[in-house]
Structures are given as structure tokens and as C-alpha cells.
Amino acid sequence: MNNQQKKYDLEERTAQFGEDVITFCKSLKESAINRSLLSQIIRSATSVGANYMEADVAESKKDFQHKIGICKKESKETIHWIRMIVSANPETIEKCKILQKEAHELLLIFSAIIIKSRSNY
């Protein structure tokens, strides 16, 4: 699969996002504050892909919209945890900007999917 195909393969993109967050988290120093923050961001970031996969096999339109809504919510929550990590670890700002950009793009994608799914039926 080339880079252009990966960019539009949302299942791959959300999985890669979760993996990127995990890799980033593994690079941070161990502390009581980081332990809590990292637990939260790993949960929200990896939940994006897991819920997208569930939406992909949804049993109904309502179920699909609900799962995509969770993807949107988890993307937004991840943005919050990124901000908190930067607050606790200012040296991570550049890497966090990249993760925050991807989380924001996913948020916009899921918002558009929700809008389109409401207008298509």
C-alpha cells in the first residue's frame, strides 16, 4: 500500500495514530504525573481506532452513528491529554504538535462522517 492509499485508509490511519501515541508515551520519563497522563492518552488514542473498526461493522445506521460519535469524542479527548502532557513535559511540544494535528484531523473527519450520515438517509 503506498502513502496516498494509507492516507485515505481510515482503519490504517486510526491504528497508526494509536501506535504513534504508544511509541511517544514509551519515550517519556517515568513519574507519578506522567503515569496518570499516559494512561489516559493511551486509552483515548487507541479507542479511536477500536471504535472505528466497530463502526465499520455496525448493525444499523444508529449504531454506526453512535460509534463514529465515540471516535469523534475520543479524538477530542486525546487533544486534551496532549495539552496536559505538554504542560507536564514542555520539551515534548514539537512531537505533541504532530500528534495533536493528527488528532484534530481525525476529529474533523469523524465530524464530516457524522454530518454526511445524517444527510444521506
Domains within the chain, CATH numbers bracketed: 11-119 (1.20.1440.60)
Distance between CA 51 and CA 11 in Å, rounded?
10
Determine the average pLDDT of the residues in 49-77: 96
Its pTM stands at 0.90
- Residue 5 banded pLDDT, cuts 50, 70, 90: low
Please, how many CA atoms are within 13 Å of residue 120, restricted to the half-sphere of its CB?
9
Q: Evaluate whether 107 touches 70 at the Cβ level (below 8 Å).
A: no
Q: pLDDT per residue over 73-112, tens digit each?
A: 999 999 999 999 999 999 999 999 999 999 999 999 999 9
Q: Evaluate whether 21 touches 99 at the Cβ level (below 8 Å).
A: yes
Q: pLDDT per residue over 23-57, tens digit each?
A: 999 999 999 999 999 999 999 999 999 999 999 99
Task: Pull the grid cell for residue 108.
Answer: 474533523
